[in-house]
Amino acid sequence: MNKRKSRSFKLGDIARRFGGELIGNAEVRIHQVSTLQSARSTDIAFVAQSRYLAQLNQTHAGALILGPEARTASSLPRIISANPYAYFARVAALLNPAAAVKPGAHKSAVVDRSARIAKSAAIGACAVIGKGAHVGAGASIGPGCNIGDGASVGTGSRLYANVTVYHECRIGARCIVHSGAVIGADGFGFAPEDGNWRKIPQTGRVVIGDDVEIGANTTIDRGTLDDTVIEDGVKLDNQIQIAHNVWIGANTAIAGCVGIAGSTRIGRHCMLGGAAIILGHLTIADHVIISSGTVIMKSIDEPGTYTGFYPFSSHQRWRRNAAHLRQIDDLAARIRELERRLAKAQGNHS
């Protein structure tokens, strides 16, 4: 755990703020969140899965957050919540608030005269704000960021160091964009011509809604003609590639190293596991879960969980199985021929 915060709350105050059933001493003062293993007497820990209940006997936590099924699993002061994980997230945010924005521009920042910067916004060292750009109230632009001409960053959004937002792109309110992210680079658009590739100008934008979080070194390409759109509440992990003209629906969460090819539309409340690959020009329905490492090659019209990866095995066994897979078409043809002969033979005996 990082340096302990001086901020603390009584357990009863936490329960009054966030709800839940309080059992035990409401006067216990909580200074920090922690794991069951490393918790101190001034920490609060949580259990969201039954397999961790056995660790309750060894924890030194001062209080716990438990689900209804575990309300009697410990004698420690505890808050019972239907969703312990989300409750823990709320408490963690309460005890670890983001650093306050200190308004003003660093003397090394380069801000174009035509840019509109709210008085309560902060512009970090060596940041560059382009012509006609807009930075909203309470927004924080970290060191080395580049906000292109005509781009905008909404109220209360926070861009960490070295984020690049290309021209005319839009970031909504209360967004978090981590270091190294690139918003609005050209999409991969090239037309073949006489053995060469002719670049297609990418004239769309990237439009990002409110309350979106974008991980470190994630890249979101601008649209070719229409915009690339990330709706409200989307959560993107590190090192994700989102190609031109992709549309991601509200409150979808995407884990690291996912690649989404151009012009694909992903629905709302979806979850994509790490390293999943979504091919281009597909449509994914709302409430779809795609497992890690899965390659999606056609549209998904129904909600549900979709998995498509080859289980790992020893290298020698994998090679044998791969060799068999190469013969699937031939085997299928042979089976069809056998079925045809069997049907013919049965017809002759009838």
Residues paired with residue 281 on neighbouring β-strands, in sequence order? none
pLDDT tens for 212-250 read 999 999 999 999 999 999 999 999 999 999 999 999 999
Burial of 113 (0-12, 13-18, 19+ CB in 10 A): exposed
Interaxial angle between packed helices 315-326 and 328-349, expressed in degrees from 0 to 180 and rounded to the nearest 10? 50
Does the pLDDT value for residue 350 go beyond 70? no
Indicate if the alpha-carbon torsion angle 222, 228, 233, 238 is positive or negative: negative
pLDDT of residue 272: 98
301 three-class SS: coil
* Domain 104-306: assigned CATH number: 2.160.10.10
pLDDT of residue 6: 61
Higher pLDDT, 138 or 322: 138
pLDDT of residue 4: 47
**9-95 sits in which CATH class?**
alpha beta
User: Which sequence positions are flagged as catalytic?
Assistant: 244
Tokens 């660790």 map to which residue? 55
Q: Is residue 123 within 8 Å of 107, Cβ to Cβ? A: no
d(C-alpha 19, C-alpha 12), whole Å: 10
Tell me the three-class secondary structure of 262-296, residue by residue.
CCCEECCCCEECCCCEECCCCEECCCEEECCCCEE
Question: Could you tell me what percent of the chain has a pLDDT over 90?
Answer: 91
Q: Is residue 50 within 8 Å of 71, Cβ to Cβ? A: no
pLDDT of residue 201: 97
Q: Which helix (H) or strand (E) holds 147?
A: strand 146-147
pLDDT of residue 2: 47
Average pLDDT, the chain: 95
Domain locations along the chain: 9-95, 104-306, 315-349
Does the pLDDT value for residue 1 go beyond 60? no
Phi, psi (rounded to 5 degrees) for 340 = -65, -45
Q: How does DSSP assign 190-213, residue by residue?
A: EEEETTEEEEPP----EEE-SS-E
pLDDT tens for 292-343 read 999 999 999 999 999 987 778 899 998 998 898 889 999 999 999 999 999 9
Residue 113 binned pLDDT confidence (cut-offs 50, 70, 90): very high
Q: Which of 1-15, 99-113, 117-131, 298-312 comes out lowest in average pLDDT?
A: 1-15
| pTM (predicted TM-score) | 0.90
pLDDT tens for 244-275 read 999 999 999 999 999 999 999 999 999 999 99
Does the pLDDT value for residue 5 go beyond 60? no
d(C-alpha 156, C-alpha 247), whole Å: 24
pLDDT of residue 7: 87
Q: Is 162 left (phi over 0), alpha (psi -120 to 50) or beta?
A: left
pLDDT of residue 310: 77
Across the chain, which distance is largest between two alpha carbons, in Å? Answer: 95
Higher pLDDT, 318 or 23: 23
pLDDT tens for 146-160 read 999 999 999 999 999
pLDDT tens for 34-48 read 999 999 999 999 999
